[in-house]
A and B are shown apart, each in its own frame.
Chain A
Amino acid sequence: MSTKRATREALGETLIELAGEGLDVVAVDADLSGSTTTAKFAAAYPGRFFNVGIAEQNMIGTAAGLAVAGKIAFTGSFAVFATGRAYDQVRNTVCYSDLDVKLAPTHSGITVGPDGGSHQMLEDIALMRVLPGMRVLVPADYVAAKAALRVAATTPGPFYVRLGRVAAPAIYGDDYRFELGGARVVREGAHVTLAACGVMVEQALAAADALAADGIEAEVLDVSTIKPFPAEAVAASARKTGAVVTCEEHSIIGGLGSAVAEALGELAPVPLARVGVRDVFGTSGEPAELMEHFGLSAAHIAEAARGVLQKRP
Chain B
Amino acid sequence: MSLEQCTVCARHETLYQELDAFIEKNRHRPGALIEVLHKAQSLFGFLPAEVQAFIAKQLGIPESTVFGVVTFYHYFTMKPRGQNQVKVCLGTACYVKGADRVLERLKEELKVGIEEVTQDGRFSIHEVRCLGACSMAPVVLIGEKDFFGRVTPDEVPKILKKYRG
Say if A and B assemble together.
no
Q: Which residues of B contact A (CB under 8 A)?
A: none
